Every structure is written in structure tokens, then in C-alpha cells.
Amino acid sequence: MDRAVIIGSSTRASDQNRSIKLAGDANYAGTNTDKYDEIWINATGANRTYTFPDPAENTGRKQIVRNIGAGAFKVTVLPNGAEKIIVASGNEKWELTSFELLQASDWAEFESDGTNWVKINVPYWHKFDDPATGNKASKAAGWVADQFTPGGLLVTFSEASIGIVAVNVQVSHLTADGSSYHRKAGDANISNTPHAGQEYSHRLTDRMKTAKNIIWVSAAQQAEFAVQNTNVDLYIAYLIEYLQ
């Protein structure tokens, strides 16, 4: 079922007909000729997908994809072939093979540059419907006190959407030793041996404190953490929000 929505007054020259594809509770693949401005997928029965048409045949075309389900299932946005889905924020750029609309009412707008599909809407914060349910951060590798390289703690925020640029998490530092630090996985803008008197820019928390922290992540949804000594117990319990 499709429909056209008129935005603006019908008496003005700036009127625009927006063609919307109501894809229902089903996967949908765009075509080079369908010319839909928005794709609405009602993901209520299962996880669903939207596949872009060929970017080479759609240079300059813009598309909004929306998850209009009740929130139990996600919509995964996929490229047509070997091209990437490009997400950028500030001076950061992610080249992804998929992009997720995790919750009800999540949406994103993309434009073809002739080679890839580029996310063009400004990132916004999404609040988890029930952030306290389950552990939404998982240890990936390592733990070496006082350094990021070659050790540190690598954490994957596996329950957040693919395509996130930052996370807001609750972190608890449950011992009376030292401080802890964080950075996006792979960053080099902090020394290998952080000390509280030198590296305040990446200081996370310290003795016996719990705080919410906004943490930049890599394209693989990962961040790295370092502690001043091995007695530190650092708990990254769950996500509050994610920026996408």
C-alpha cells in the first residue's frame, strides 16, 4: 500500500508531494524506478530489512527509512551490493555494511552520492525503552592496568544499534583505588599510561563513584577503558541512550 502526502499549503509554489511506501510487516527492496521518498516498515512480527536500490543509478536521490513497529523488532538497512552506508559526525566517518533502526519510531535519511548511500540527517539521541533490562555492554578483550596499548579493556556495546556514534552509559568504579579512563576504540589521542594529573580530558571516574558518561565509540560499537591499577573494579552496566 502506498500513499502520497502533501506537505505545505496547496496554494504555494513550494508544495511538495512526498511518496511514501507503506511496506507493512515485511522486508522491502527499493528499485531504481519506484521513486519513493520514504519507506515505512511496520516491524511488529519479526526483524525486517530494507535494501537500497543501486546508488549509481540514483545519484542525488534521498530516502527516509522509518521503523513504525511497536518497538519489539528492528529494521536493518542494507546496501544494494558492495557499496557502503556512510555515517559521519564531526570529523568521524563510519563505512558500514548495514545500519539499524532499533526501536519504534527510529528513522534516518540517506542520499546517494553515486557510489554509496550517505546518512544525511543530524544525529539525535535515542533513549532505550528499558535500559535496566539485561547487560547491554560486553567485554571483548583484555585488561591491563595503566595503559591502553597493548592492553586495557575493550568493550562492545552489542545491544546498541549498528551506526551509533556515541553512547551514554552508567559506569561504577567500585573500589577505592586510582582512576579510570576511556576513549573510542583505536583512538590515539591519549597517552599509553594515563595519570590523573595529566590526562583529565579522558578521565572517566574514580574511587567509589557511579556516574553517567557519554562515550564516543568506533564503527564496531567499541570503546576502550584503562585503569590506574589492577585492584580497580569497573562496571559498565547498561546503556541509557545512544547517539545515531
- pLDDT per residue as tens, the chain (244 positions): 565 444 444 444 444 678 999 999 999 999 999 989 999 999 999 999 999 999 999 999 999 999 999 888 999 999 999 999 999 887 788 999 999 999 999 999 999 999 999 999 999 999 887 776 666 778 887 776 667 766 678 889 888 899 999 999 888 877 777 778 888 887 876 655 555 456 566 778 777 677 788 889 999 999 988 877 777 778 887 788 999 9
User: Is the separation of the CB atoms in 161 and 244 below 8 Å?
Assistant: yes
Secondary structure (DSSP) of the chain: -EEEEEES-TTSTT-EEEEEEEEESS-EE--SS---SEEEE--SSS-EEEE---GGG-TT-EEEEEE-S-SSS-EEEE-SSS--EEEEETTEEEEES-EEE-STT-EEEEEE-SSSEEE-SPP-EEE-SSTTSS---EEEE---TT-SSS-SEEEE-TTSPTT--EEEEEEEE-SSS-EEEEEETT--SS-SS--TTT-GGGEEEETTEEEEEEEE--TTSEEEEEESSTT--EEEEEEEEEE-
Domain ranges across the chain = 2-122, 138-243
CATH number of the domain at 2-122, out of 1.10.287, 2.60.120, 1.20.1250, 1.10.10? 2.60.120
Single-letter amino acid, residue 76? T
202, three cell numbers: 579522558
Q: Confirm if 206 and 196 have CB atoms less than 8 A apart.
A: yes
Distance CA 187, CA 215 (A): 12
Supply the pLDDT for residue 6: 42
